A and B are shown apart, each in its own frame.
Chain A
Amino acid sequence: MPFRKLLGWFKGFFGKKKIIRLGLYGPPNAGKTTLANKISIDWTGEPVGTVSEVPHETREVQKKERVIVKVGGRKIVMNLLDMPGISTKIDFEEFLQYGFSAEDAKQRAKEATKGVIEAIKWLENVDTALVIMDSTKDPYTQVNITILGNLEARNIPIIIVANKIDLPDSNAKWIEEAFPQHPIVRISGLTGSNIEDLYNAIAKHSK
């Protein structure tokens, strides 16, 4: 028996379960925090962060530790890591349209740039990644490709979440065609539909 396996068996034996650091990645507004909240409320009763239609709402990694998920007779212990959305551009003028003052908009932009950097740094510190995509949008973007490429390079298990399937113009097939090499679950983080499929996928693919 290899040492690592033996160690894992010992830890399991003494009830010290491995904690999976589950990172939620994706572009801004894909629904990462909505989903993190759904998972966390389901199993702990508490939310993880604030949701907003304004992009870059999450500007610091939000953590929820020791979330115990029961799936198929198994218990999975996870640290949820809700990441800031990753983007290649941040224009403070975009925030003005949402009614922010110029000063607040500039401050939000500044914090957002730091958030993107933090999310990128965390890429090496997650055990499993959910890459959340808005299924009403073109999935073949450089941000999605960069996120997937970096996770692949580090051999981190990836589950693609085709989110917002409750919307009439949702097209999860688009995502499946763009990234056929990864498991994909279609859900709505907002309504919670198909969320069981996601828990099963996490149990199956996490390492």
Chain B
Amino acid sequence: MKNPSINIELEFISSDILEEFKGEEKMQYILDKIKDNKILVMEESLSSTDEAKLIEATMRNISEKFSGIEVSTLREKQENGIRETIIKLLGGKTGGLTVIGPSKLIKQIKKEPKRISVLAEKKQSDSEKNSEE
């Protein structure tokens, strides 16, 4: 059986880019990239509200071709710690990281409190299998 080659594109996004968007726009920007088969690494952790909004937006985008996302967010240890508060006051970012990708491409994003590992896999959909024959 021939093994079809897998192209996985990783895209790193700085939080400056994301800041330009308002609520819904940000989610659609993220989802458009993911629907393009990209795995995004973002230089920020999503808030709980944003996570919920992202899931909602994902649900609205689901179709026969797009089955959803795998996502994992790493938060800074203490979001409201003294160090973080000072950095925020000075206009800086306190870090954190979010990895999001299409669920068809990602078998699993394994999450541990301080580590994210991404297991990518090309799952063939039935339609792709048929078109190959």
Contacts and interface: CB of A to CB of B under 8 A. Distances in A.
> Bound pair: A and B?
yes
Interface of A: 86-93, 96, 106, 109, 113-114, 116-117, 120, 123, 140-143, 145-146, 149-150, 152-153
Given A113-B59, A142-B111, A90 B51 contact: no
A149 B103 contact: no
Nearest to A115: B59
Contacts of B112: 140
Contacts of B70: 88-89, 142
Nearest to A113: B59
Interface string B52-95: 10011011101010011111110000000000000000000000
Question: Which DSSP category, helix, strand, loop or mixed, fits chain B's interface?
Answer: mixed
Given A88-B58, A90-B67, A109-B62, 19 more contacts: A86-B55, A88-B55, A89-B69, A90-B59, A90-B68, A91-B67, A92-B67, A113-B60, A123-B52, A140-B111, A141-B111, A142-B71, A142-B109, A143-B55, A146-B48, A149-B47, A150-B49, A150-B51, A152-B48
Contacts of B16: none
Contacts of A89: 58, 62, 67-70, 103
Nearest to A121: B56
B51 A91 contact: no
Contacts of B125: 93
Contacts of A91: 67-68, 103-104
B20 interface: no
Given A140-B111, A142-B111, A150-B48, A92 B55 contact: no
Main secondary structure of the interface of A (DSSP, over half): helix
B51 A142 contact: yes
21 contacts: A86-B55, A88-B55, A89-B69, A90-B62, A90-B67, A91-B104, A92-B64, A92-B67, A93-B67, A114-B59, A116-B56, A117-B59, A117-B60, A140-B113, A142-B51, A142-B72, A142-B111, A146-B52, A149-B48, A150-B49, A150-B51
A150 B62 CA distance: 23
A39 B49 CA distance: 30
A146 B56 CA distance: 12
Contacts of B109: 142
Contacts of A109: 62
Nearest to B126: A93
A116 B68 CA distance: 12
A124 B31 CA distance: 25
CB-CB nearest 7 A-B residue pairs: A89-B68, A149-B48, A91-B67, A89-B103, A113-B59, A146-B51, A150-B48
